[in-house]
Amino acid sequence: MERSEDWRGRVLRKRYRLDERIALGRTVEVFRGFDLLEEREVAVKLPLLHLLSDREFCDQFRVAAHRATRLRHPGIVEVMDYGIEENRPFVVMEILHAKTMHEMLEAGKKMKPLGALYFAVEVTRILTYLEEKGVAHGSLDEKHVFVFPGRRAKISDVGFPSLLGGADSPFPFLVDAKKDLRDLGYLVYRSLSGRSKAEAAEDIKKGKLKWDAGVPSRLRRFVQQCMESSDGKGFANARQALLEAVSTLREELPMAPLPEVITGEAAAEAEAAAPAIPLPLPRLRRWQVWAGAVFLGLAAITLLFWIISAFIGGSKVEVPNLVNMSVEEARRVAGERDLGVLVVGKEYDMEVKASHVISQDPMVGVMVDRKTVVKVLESLGPLTVPNLVGLTLDDARIVLESRGFRVGEVTYRDEPGYSENRVVETDPPYGSKLSGGATVNLVVSRKTS
């Protein structure tokens, strides 16, 4: 039988080169790869060769890949593409240059209570997003959590639990969003206590968690509630856990800036849940009072001068042509005429370079008052038609729509060497540069007699 190592150096779909195997699991292997089209490093995950005869496993792998390409969140490792090479499915993901929580724990490192709270906020924010999308991670263990500087975290392999053998935690395998909360509680407990897997599992089994004296009681209760979530005693959902994590963090550090994780109604609920902590007002010295008064006076004079210049001496100016300028240059040119620039949207455009202006409002030559803000549309550059040859029609539709294209005319023809309902050609062809929303026509193989 062909060995997994034999795939090193291969190029999948004439685009993804497999350079080096960087991980080997019970069911999959991961290669460091290189995207020859976009010229960037990627990670490529493939099922082990001996599992290719398991049709159910390969179907689950493909379905999970479909689902993952539709998830877009800064806290989730992005799945950028997927496909089939010689009947072997594969997934292309962003590659991370960061350590996993597993590596951190194996090195004997622990989190401080404040760091653990920020971590809990980050992960519950991610789980809330997944919950809204109707997806459970299912295998949230220390090897699937990446920790970055600046109290940031990312999780990988969302939706691949059964494929990866389940989470490496003391809890039984279950594809349920509440299990993700239970696994989060386990991760926070281990990161705070420094307990080994065996010790943590024994603590949980006995129902007696061992805490350091410096861990706040409310943080301990948060961990306990996470662990009890799937039993109906803890959090009802991830959003509730997020609100509690934010409220607990505010209690511990009321003056610290918090991550931008919740807005609107959720922010109001978190604010209401946070305890009211009176802040003492500082006693100012006489010179500080006088300095403040002078500063306020100068600010008032400056404001008055601006108002006079805007309404009394402000003559109209002509709007310059900002189209095809970089956004930075457009701001400079507009500023020379006492105008502002506001980016109101971004679109893919095959004719305008990335970070350059596609259109503007008001139009060129219109006379406007000074201080007027010109609204511009920024280009994200062209979209590249992906390689769809060999995919089923349904798979091709998902890939195109997830990339911002529309499926155009679908025609069928007899094509030797292809099974029924496989894409054999696209128009425009693979690698073409198009604008967002452009139509891609498909030629699909017909059933051969």
**CATH code: domain of residue 149:** 1.10.510.10
Q: Domain check: are 230 and 334 in the same one? A: no
Last residue of a domain, one of 334, 352, 379: 379
- Residue 350: give the domain boundaries: 315-379
Q: Domain check: are 59 and 176 in the same one? A: no
Last residue of a domain, one of 379, 394, 427: 379
Measured over the CA atoms of residue 142, residue 143, residue 149 and residue 154, the dihedral's sign is negative
Q: Domain check: are 251 and 161 in the same one? A: yes
- Domain count across the chain: 4
Q: How far is CA 185 from the centre of its chain?
A: 22
The C-alpha atoms of residue 192 and residue 105 are separated, in whole angstroms, by 10
Assessment of whether the complete model's pTM goes beyond 0.75: no
DSSP type of residue 215:
S
Q: Is residue 63 part of a domain?
A: yes
3-state percent breakdown (helix, strand, coil) of the chain, nearest 5? 35, 25, 40
Q: Domain check: are 169 and 24 in the same one? A: no
Per-position pLDDT tens, the chain of length 449: 445 457 888 999 889 999 999 888 788 889 999 999 888 999 999 988 888 888 778 878 887 888 788 888 889 999 988 888 888 889 999 998 888 888 888 888 889 998 999 999 999 999 998 888 888 887 788 888 998 877 788 998 886 754 443 344 443 434 566 888 989 999 999 999 988 888 988 988 888 899 988 999 999 999 999 988 877 788 888 899 999 998 888 888 765 555 554 444 444 444 444 444 443 444 556 666 677 777 787 777 777 765 665 555 457 889 999 999 999 999 999 999 899 999 888 888 888 988 999 999 999 889 998 889 999 999 988 888 888 888 888 888 888 887 788 899 999 988 877 788 888 899 998 888 888 888 999 999 987 55
The C-alpha atoms of residue 99 and residue 124 are separated, in whole angstroms, by 20
Q: Is residue 300 part of a domain?
A: no
- Residues 253, 209: contact at Cβ < 8 Å? no
Q: Is residue 171 part of a domain?
A: yes
Q: Domain check: are 241 and 268 in the same one? A: yes
Q: Is residue 258 part of a domain?
A: yes
CATH number of the structural domain spanning residue 353: 3.30.10.20
Q: Domain check: are 122 and 246 in the same one? A: yes
The C-alpha atoms of residue 185 and residue 171 are separated, in whole angstroms, by 11
Q: Domain check: are 337 and 416 in the same one? A: no
Q: Domain check: are 14 and 150 in the same one? A: no
Last residue of a domain, one of 93, 128, 155: 93
**pLDDT value, residue 332:** 92
Query: What value, to the nearest 5°, has the Cα angle with vertex 291 and ends 289 and 293?
Result: 70
CA dihedral defined by 179, 182, 184, 185, rounded to 10 degrees?
A: 180
Q: Is residue 290 part of a domain?
A: no
Q: Domain check: are 331 and 406 in the same one? A: no
Q: Is residue 266 part of a domain?
A: yes
Q: Is residue 115 part of a domain?
A: yes
**pLDDT value, residue 330:** 93
Q: Domain check: are 334 and 388 in the same one? A: no
- Residues 154, 75: contact at Cβ < 8 Å? yes
Owner of token pair 């943080």: 219
Q: Domain check: are 262 and 371 in the same one? A: no
The C-alpha atoms of residue 72 and residue 64 are separated, in whole angstroms, by 15
Q: Domain check: are 145 and 29 in the same one? A: no
Measured over the CA atoms of residue 262, residue 267, residue 272 and residue 276, the dihedral's sign is positive
Q: Is residue 120 part of a domain?
A: yes
